[in-house]
Structure 1
Amino acid sequence: MRLHIKLMLGISLLIILIGSIFELSFTTMMENTLKQEKGEQALSVAQSISHIPEIKEAFLTDQPSLIIQPIAEKIRKQVRAEFIVIGNRAEIRYSHPNSDRLGQKMVGGDNEQVFEGQSIISESVGTLGPSLRGKAPIYLNGQVIGVVSVGYLQDDIKKEITYVRRQMFLVTFFILIGGIFAAYFISRNMRKATFGLEPKEIAWMYQEKHAILESIHEGIIAIDVFGKITVVNETAHKILQVDHMLRGRRVDELLENMHLLAVVHTGKAEYDQEYIIHGEVYLVNTIPILSKRGIVIGAVASLRNKSELSDLLQELSHVRAYAEGLRAQTHEYSNKLYTLLGLIQLGSYKEAIDYISKEVDGTQSLIHFLMKEIPDPILAGFILGKKSLASEMKIDFTIDASSSFKDLPVEIDREKVVTIIGNLVNNAFEAVRESGKEAKEVTLFLTDLGKELIIEVEDNGVGIDLQNSESIFEKGFTTKNTNANAGIGLSLVQNAISELGGYITFTSDKDKNTVFTAAIPKRRGI
């Protein structure tokens, strides 16, 4: 059943229930009140009649009813009583609304207390039906000589109560109609506020949103227009290093100078803003939260550790380097196969054999050298790929014959070493290509002698201007003509070396050569 139908039925049943309880309570109270008022009224009239001298004196005559009946009927009509009956000690009627019943005995059996001198209110059944009576004794010379009984039929009281009940029913009916309309408009507004979703759907979406927020690796913080945190996931708690619930607290109490409130005020999103939290650099993306009418009702920020992005960039760089190496190797061997095909087609079999022997000897020699001096398969394969790339680019890439990287500790991250070598070699390749020199030479030297691992890359490129010597390791700094991935390589090298606890230096002669030397301690603290 839909929410608006439930709401309308619920409000309707509530109004009916409240109306029924109110009607029952009110009519019960009214019935008791009417009986009390009528009883007191009847008693008051009876007491007043019992003190009329003419009525007392009439009891001494031979035919009292001739005097008492006109007086009683006149008073009955004035007070709108159902009956006024006056009788003697023998309960013989001297007055009655029906004159045919004069002289007959009174009916009801409730005169004993009156003859004892008491005024009472009673309910009894007389000749006219059930009635509410007020009875008072008539005294003469200190003796009770008769009784006055003034009554109102209970049917008349019930008629008054029935009339009130009808009025109450009409009021309840109109309240019910009004309640149904109110329920309709309330449910309609609720549907608009909840975008037509049912409570079960809202609950399911809340659980779904919570699960999504907790599955996101980034920290998520959302605020309202007053700067109070409305949504925060567990990752954000870990980033902020708090173990208590942050929802409801002001964001500026936790994060100073963060642009969440500024985005709420301006309504403009901000992307890739750097923010330092507990010594860690985070990239923050902040966007405003808009209502259906386009009004800013809050803002949400995502926090991602910058080092994670750097690691990802390094991995992508490695993948790209592997791909380039494979592509270069494929291209190089395609050219060699075409050469062999041409020699065979020309019948120059001896030259073809010599060409194959030369290539095999050169490749096998390099592979044998790498397997012996650089036994780590990741580094050896990476260097072999760079060798193929250099061959395609017409660059003389040489691995120094005295190189040795046998003592590479297990705890040193190979990926970071590959990042250092790869980016230094790539920069060297770019330098010699831009130099315009006919001889393009790059040399790689690796050694593990002593307490440090030494990585040295030398090129005969354009060199480095001394005025840029302090800026080359900054992210985004470049002197290249292209913007593709420029200004990233050396910053990645610097970060990797810093994480390994090492350092990097360089020397450069303008238009001659440049040498980058990286030193990495084999053991931390050495």
Structure 2
Amino acid sequence: MGRVSLQTKILALTLSLSFFIILLLTSYFTYMNGKQIADDRGRLALELSKSISFMPTIIEAFESENPSETIQPIVEKIRQKTGAEFIVVGNREGIRYSHPQVSEIGKKMVGGDSKRAIENGEYYISEARGSLGLSMRGKSPIFNDNGDIIGVVSVGFLVEDIERQIYKDVSKELVISLAALIASIIGSFLLAKSIRKDTLGLEPYEIVNLYKVKNAVLHSVQEGILSVDKNGTITSMNQRAKSLLGINGSVRHLKVDGLFPSNYLYDVLNSGEPQFDKEMTWKRKTIIVSCTPIFDEKSVSGVVAVFREKTEIEQMINKLSEMKTYSEELRAQTHEFTNKLYVLSGLLQLGEYKEAIEMIQGETSELKFQNQIVFEQIKDTKVQVILLGKLGKASEKKILFEIDPESYINKLPKHIRLSQLTLILGNIIDNAFEAVSATDKPLIKFFATDIGEDIIFEVIDNGKGIADEDMHSLFERGFTSKTGDNPRGYGLSNADSAVKELGGIIEVQNGKENTVFTVYLPKTVKGEGH
């Protein structure tokens, strides 16, 4: 079975919908119009009957010998003016005193619907068949001056006349409905033709296939890809681009303004010239951007942007550098203990047993105390590795590195990685090593605790401190107060970036005798630190 074309589907759907709506509205308006006409005629009949029943002339005529002689001319004149089919005035026995057909005067009223007016004195609308046919009637009792019911007034409009009026109004509505149907046919044809032109003659299934292929290609590449139209509205974006730019959820039909720095895209939109390998920093990532314009027949209709992350490479280099540093620190620790073993060996060979024993006891006591804190109170392996490396480096540099005996932390949450801890603790402690390098009695103290909602690390040094004018620039990338040929000014910046990734903060207290760096890392990630 062949596929139904888009044009045929649109025509069939719009025509069916239009026909259904027109039919529904016509039926509804016909019903409401008919009901309105019937109600209006009923109310008119009732109001006329009331008015006639209150006329003094009509009431006084009942006391005359020939009431019909007075009543008939009056009501006939009213009937002709109002267009009522009949106006009948009768006495309590239902004998007519007036009628459009004079021959019916004096005869009993027909229909049997006057009882409520004559007996109960009610005013009401009824429908009954009389001598002239089925009619809509308004019934009103006639009271004399004493309040007694002396007769009844019946004003009627033939149902046949009401229906004729309804059919006349319906015919007008049908003409309007037919015109609307013809207009919908023409509009449907033009709409189908326009849509087919917009889709370049492609059928929906062909468009779907093209979209699936494009979507598969878009999400299979490793680079982030984003396309926008000439107004800067996003038309497509793959998952890699969302990940690089830190965007969640659907972004279709959103403006790029505010989602990320989009000046490169607008430059290409305005100039029509492509831009390649431009750097931008966004959410602590360095991203390489290349933008290519999309042209239509007249001008630039959009831009395709390709994103690649530079930060990942930099982070990998930093991690390798840190691992190399700790490898060297462990080597230094090994070298330090090798030297001590040589000294111990020399003492034993010279027979200086007492000094050898004192040296062993001293080393053992110091090592036992430090190891007891590191291995029994610091439960996290990552922190243990960093502290052991720094203890070895401190020993080699002849710096007293004390771990507060009150320190205690359990195993850290999984979201805190070794690479992040290396950047944070490694750079802060290294900064402390450099700060105390020119001090006579260099001392660094380390404290850690996980009591409460945060994990807290504190590093105290008795170095020269930090100049007041440098405090506000301490964590800026590239800033350093030191001199030398090697690149400096990245350690504390990297530490600050790692802390912010974990949603924490770093506090610095610059005292006269000590400088204190305190790191607060939340146990659960709640957002970026400030």
TM-score (norm 2): 0.50
Q: For residues 91 and 225 of structure 1, do their structure 2 counterparts lie closer, same or farther at Cα, with a shift above 3 Å needed?
A: same
Given candidates 250, 253, 264, the residue that maps to 2:256 is: 250
How far apart in 1 are the matches of 2:132 and 2:166?
Answer: 20
Equivalence for 1:26 = 29
Equivalence for 1:133 = 137
Letter in 2 for 1:84: I
1:16 and 1:172 in contact (8 A); partners too: no
1:220 and 1:233 in contact (8 A); partners too: yes
Given candidates 264, 269, 272, the residue that maps to 1:264 is: 269
Query: What SS does the aligned partner of 1:109 have?
Result: coil
Equivalence for 1:294 = 298
Letter in 2 for 1:118: E
Letter in 2 for 1:189: S
Given candidates 111, 120, 127, the residue that maps to 2:124 is: 120
How far apart in 2 are the matches of 1:55 and 1:112?
Answer: 20
Letter in 2 for 1:42: A
How far apart in 2 are the matches of 1:135 and 1:305?
Answer: 91
Identity %: 38
How far apart in 2 are the matches of 1:10 and 1:66?
Answer: 69
How far apart in 2 are the matches of 1:246 and 1:135?
Answer: 70
Q: How much has 1:39 moved relative to structure 2?
A: 2.0
The within-5 A match list for 1:9-48 is: 9-48=12-51
Any unmatched runs of 5+ in structure 1?
307-526
Equivalence for 2:154 = 149
Equivalence for 1:177 = 182
Which protein has the larger Cα radius of gyration, Structure 1 or Structure 2? 1
The within-5 A match list for 1:84-123 is: 84-116=87-119, 117-123=121-127
Q: How much has 1:80 moved relative to structure 2?
A: 0.9
Q: Is 1:3–2:6 an aligned residue pair?
A: yes
Query: What SS does the aligned partner of 2:88 have?
Result: strand
Letter in 2 for 1:124: A
The within-5 A match list for 1:58-457 is: 58-116=61-119, 117-142=121-146, 143-216=148-221, 219-234=224-239, 236=241, 240=244, 244=248, 247=251, 248=254, 250=256, 254=260, 259-269=264-274, 273-275=276-278, 286-291=291-296, 293-302=297-306
Letter in 2 for 1:288: P
Q: For residues 95 and 286 of structure 1, do their structure 2 counterparts lie closer, same or farther at Cα, with a shift above 3 Å needed?
A: same
How far apart in 2 are the matches of 1:135 and 1:267?
Answer: 85
Q: How much has 1:235 moved relative to structure 2?
A: 5.3
Q: For residues 56 and 263 of structure 1, do their structure 2 counterparts lie closer, same or farther at Cα, with a shift above 3 Å needed?
A: closer
How far apart in 1 are the matches of 2:226 and 2:10?
Answer: 35
How far apart in 2 are the matches of 1:280 and 1:61?
Answer: 111
Q: Deviations over 1:289-340 (max 9, x none)?
A: 122x33211122456899xxxxxxxxxxxxxxxxxxxxxxxxxxxxxxxxxx
Letter in 1 for 2:140: A
More divergent stretch after superposition (165-174 vs 43-52) = 43-52
1:232 and 1:246 in contact (8 A); partners too: no
How far apart in 1 are the matches of 2:258 and 2:145?
Answer: 99
How far apart in 2 are the matches of 1:182 and 1:98?
Answer: 57
Q: For residues 130 and 245 of structure 1, do their structure 2 counterparts lie closer, same or farther at Cα, with a shift above 3 Å needed?
A: closer
Q: How much has 1:63 moved relative to structure 2?
A: 3.8
How far apart in 2 are the matches of 1:242 and 1:95?
Answer: 93
Q: How much has 1:114 moved relative to structure 2?
A: 1.2
Q: How much has 1:151 moved relative to structure 2?
A: 0.5
Q: How much has 1:112 moved relative to structure 2?
A: 1.3
How far apart in 1 are the matches of 2:95 and 2:39?
Answer: 28
Q: How much has 1:152 moved relative to structure 2?
A: 0.6
TM-score (norm 1): 0.50
1:274 and 1:281 in contact (8 A); partners too: no
Letter in 2 for 1:70: P
Query: What SS does the aligned partner of 1:208 have?
Result: helix
1:68 and 1:94 in contact (8 A); partners too: yes
How far apart in 1 are the matches of 2:236 and 2:294?
Answer: 12
Q: For residues 53 and 249 of structure 1, do their structure 2 counterparts lie closer, same or farther at Cα, with a shift above 3 Å needed?
A: closer
Q: For residues 243 and 123 of structure 1, do their structure 2 counterparts lie closer, same or farther at Cα, with a shift above 3 Å needed?
A: closer
How far apart in 1 are the matches of 2:8 and 2:84?
Answer: 53
Q: For residues 70 and 194 of structure 1, do their structure 2 counterparts lie closer, same or farther at Cα, with a shift above 3 Å needed?
A: same
Q: Deviations over 1:255-276 (max 9, x none)?
A: 677x543332222345xx4456
Query: What SS does the aligned partner of 2:71 have?
Result: helix
Query: What SS does the aligned partner of 2:160 have?
Result: helix
Q: How much has 1:126 moved relative to structure 2?
A: 1.1
Any unmatched runs of 5+ in structure 2?
311-530
Q: Deviations over 1:184-238 (max 9, x none)?
A: 3333332232222233332222111111223446553323334454333355567
1:229 and 1:251 in contact (8 A); partners too: no
How far apart in 2 are the matches of 1:253 and 1:119?
Answer: 74
Query: What SS does the aligned partner of 2:236 have?
Result: strand
2:87 and 2:154 in contact (8 A); partners too: yes
2:280 and 2:288 in contact (8 A); partners too: no
Equivalence for 2:527 = none
Query: What SS does the aligned partner of 2:155 have?
Result: strand
Q: Deviations over 1:84-108 (max 9, x none)?
A: 1122222122221122222221111
How far apart in 2 are the matches of 1:10 and 1:243?
Answer: 39
RMSD in angstroms over aligned alpha carbons?
Answer: 3.4
Letter in 1 for 2:215: H
Q: How much has 1:281 moved relative to structure 2?
A: 11
Q: For residues 280 and 76 of structure 1, do their structure 2 counterparts lie closer, same or farther at Cα, with a shift above 3 Å needed?
A: closer
Q: How much has 1:30 moved relative to structure 2?
A: 2.8
